[in-house]
Structure 1
Amino acid sequence: MTLMKTIRENAQKLSKCIVLPEGTEERTLKAADYILKEKLARIILLGNKTEIERKSQEWSLQFTTNARIIDPLNNPDKEKYAELLYEIRKSKGLTYEEALVLTEDPLYLATLLIKAGEADGEVAGAMNSTGNVLRPAFQIVKTMPGISVVSGAFLMILKDNPYVPENILVFADCAVHPDPTASELAEIAISTARTAQSIAGLEPRVAMLSFSTKGSAKHALCDKVIEATRIAKEKAPWLQIDGELQADAAIVESVGIHKAPGSLIAGKANVLVFPSLETGNIAYKLVQRLAGAEAIGPVLQGMAAPINDLSRGCSVSDIVNLVAITATQSAGM
């Protein structure tokens, strides 16, 4: 059974509620129809109800009538959400009148629905930039306790790779934070381990990657990874983690034994934490293209509730998969 099929089956069992703020967008509506048909999640669509119904008829969508539809511009509960937003942001200078206006923005309303406990997660980005998706998330949902940084993980599905018995690696950060500090890198490691556990079903074995293995090179960049490993161990004593390790020492057992004798992670890692966004992004794209790996993500991690960002070039299938992932992610929070 493929990982994505397993994730979809888990989502069916969980019956989580996911809000889709781009409710009138064609791919989003078609994805919602499929999700509701397959019972992967309960769905809230944000947008004009008449437009959603008209487009559903135009595209012969049969199941969107099972979605809860909220029109942000004509919302009878607008004042309730405005009051919630005002309470959250008044210390930052937000007025109640400004909060009323912001609740008309689907991206703000989506995160307010999560904060109010009416939705378990959000998927957006088919029509909006990452910055626009994340801004209200940071302001309203915020990060998990003990986590200050949001990062993006990719599930890399390999085909019969001799170095990866489980055929799954989790890479991070590949999408969000350009140059994390040692403390932030430690948080990314902890978040990625949780992602590997909750979504991929892995027992995470985390390698903190560098161009050095156990002091083979001396540089401030290596020192950052060493310090990040120390902090991660302190913050999450349960975590199986080691660093600094070169990539081959992390995943090739014979190399790991030679370069890092005694390490419980070297040669056995299934979670790879890269020292910067630059290295992580390059690595996942190379593995995807040259090794023919399937790259699922990015899965945003570190938020107090799962809010995931799509590429604006996403397909209907991409949205369906990310909704299933978001539903699964919410179960582990």
Structure 2
Amino acid sequence: MSDLFTSIKEQVSGKGVRIVLPEGKDERIVGAAARLAAEKVIVPVLLGEESEIAQAAEKAGVSVEGIEIHNPVGDPLFDELVAAFVERRKGKATEEDARKMLVDPNYFGTMLVFTGKADGLVSGAIHSTGDTVRPALQIIKTKPGVSKVAGAMIMVRDAERYLFSDVAINIAPTAADLAENAVVSAETAQIFGIDPRVAMLSFSTKGSAKSEETERVVEATALAKEKAPELTLDGEFQFDAAFVPSVAAQKAPGSVLKGDANVFIFPSLEAGNIGYKIAQRLGNFEAVGPILQGLNAPVNDLSRGCNTEDVYNLALITAAQAVSE
């Protein structure tokens, strides 16, 4: 286990953090839940039909004895959550609508988080990102001052830790979106022991090229500095100018960043997604996430290609977000 997860376990242990896992019929989910329950670091809550969960546990070679399980269909909490959902949606959903929607484990699980019966949610092993994020946006919603959720990856290699964002959600962010992402990403970095030094990335460094794309990053940098003047943040930067001291000294000698950035804000989703996967596959970094940023309570999205270790790790990360709220 990396130092990152050792420190996260120390951070969340003994706090009774409850993380709901809506995909209880999947053996990867059940395997992670069994490990979390055995270690007593956090409290996993599985959703699904008990027979399907038992079948998944048998396939995974684990026991779910003692793990809290809720089947949305006929659960004792169902009526209470339906009423809370109708109230939360304020005229956008009838009771009949709510009863149909809360049979969906992602909606049921998100309502457990919203009502304080769980502290966070991890889904996506067998659901799309939309299926995971949509209930969170409708029910939990974004924090005050945050208009859009962004997806970050913590990139880990030995003692090195960096944060890349947005790698998962917003295809073509505006300057305001990028600025917001920078500030929220710095907050996320601190949760995971990274003292944020934020680089706003582009294919230009300090005016070396000019285009609509580079000017958007220049504007985003100015907006981010207005939002959080205390942050060590600058742009626009090519990656080498943000990361390599000798290049920084040549290309941006007057910057507060000296080739020592550790939080990287990408100008588009394609850049962020490609960038983290290059670091992961060619640089042998472990990519942890995506971590959804900006919600009032933590909800995180697994890749459908995840393994049990990924589920376990993301549950710990979600717990760390919950205790930092």
Task: Please indicate, yes or no, whether the TM-score normalized by the shorter chain is above 0.5.
Answer: yes
Alpha-carbon distance in structure 2 between the residues aligned to 1:221 and 1:57: 52
Alpha-carbon distance in structure 2 between the residues aligned to 1:247 and 1:13: 40
Residue matched to 1:130: 129
Q: Which runs of 5+ in 1 are unaligned?
A: 160-165
Letter in 2 for 1:257: A
Task: For residues 270-329 of structure 1, give each alpha carbon's deviation from its aligned partner in whole angstroms, at most 9, with x where no partner exists.
Answer: 101110011111111111122222211211111111111111111111100000010001
- Runs of 4+ more than 4 Å apart: 57-60
SS in 1 for 2:233: strand
Alpha-carbon distance in structure 1 between the residues aligned to 2:230 and 2:38: 40
8 A Cα contact 1:178 1:277, kept in partner: yes
Matched, 1:154 2:153: yes
Alpha-carbon distance in structure 2 between the residues aligned to 1:305 and 1:232: 23
Alpha-carbon distance in structure 2 between the residues aligned to 1:316 and 1:26: 8
8 A Cα contact 1:17 1:119, kept in partner: yes
Structure 1 87/262 Cα, relative in aligned 2: closer, same or farther at 3 Å?
A: same
Alpha-carbon distance in structure 2 between the residues aligned to 1:11 and 1:109: 24
Alpha-carbon distance in structure 2 between the residues aligned to 1:289 and 1:195: 24
1:188 aligned to which of 181, 199, 208: 181
Residue matched to 1:96: 95
Residue matched to 1:264: 256
Residue matched to 1:327: 319
Structure 1 72/215 Cα, relative in aligned 2: closer, same or farther at 3 Å?
A: same
Residue matched to 2:162: 169
SS in 1 for 2:76: coil
Deviation at 1:239, TM superposition (A): 1.8
Residue matched to 1:10: 11
Residue matched to 2:219: 227
Matched, 1:312 2:316: no
Deviation at 1:238, TM superposition (A): 2.6
Task: For residues 40-77 of structure 1, give each alpha carbon's deviation from its aligned partner in whole angstroms, at most 9, with x where no partner exists.
Answer: 21111111234434554665533x22322111001122
Deviation at 1:9, TM superposition (A): 3.1
Deviation at 1:107, TM superposition (A): 0.5
8 A Cα contact 1:11 1:325, kept in partner: no
Q: Provide the aligned length of Structure 1 versus Structure 2.
A: 324
Residue matched to 1:162: none
Alpha-carbon distance in structure 2 between the residues aligned to 1:66 and 1:301: 32
**CA RMSD between the two structures:** 1.6
8 A Cα contact 1:174 1:277, kept in partner: yes
Matched, 1:197 2:184: no
Shifted more, 104-113 versus 215-224: the winner is 215-224
Alpha-carbon distance in structure 2 between the residues aligned to 1:307 and 1:216: 39
Q: If the length of structure 2 is used for normalisation, what is the TM-score?
A: 0.95
Q: If the length of structure 1 is used for normalisation, what is the TM-score?
A: 0.93
Alpha-carbon distance in structure 1 between the residues aligned to 2:319 and 2:124: 17
Q: Which runs of 5+ in 2 are unaligned?
A: none
8 A Cα contact 1:152 1:176, kept in partner: yes
8 A Cα contact 1:122 1:308, kept in partner: yes
Alpha-carbon distance in structure 2 between the residues aligned to 1:272 and 1:188: 10
SS in 2 for 1:85: helix
Deviation at 1:249, TM superposition (A): 1.0
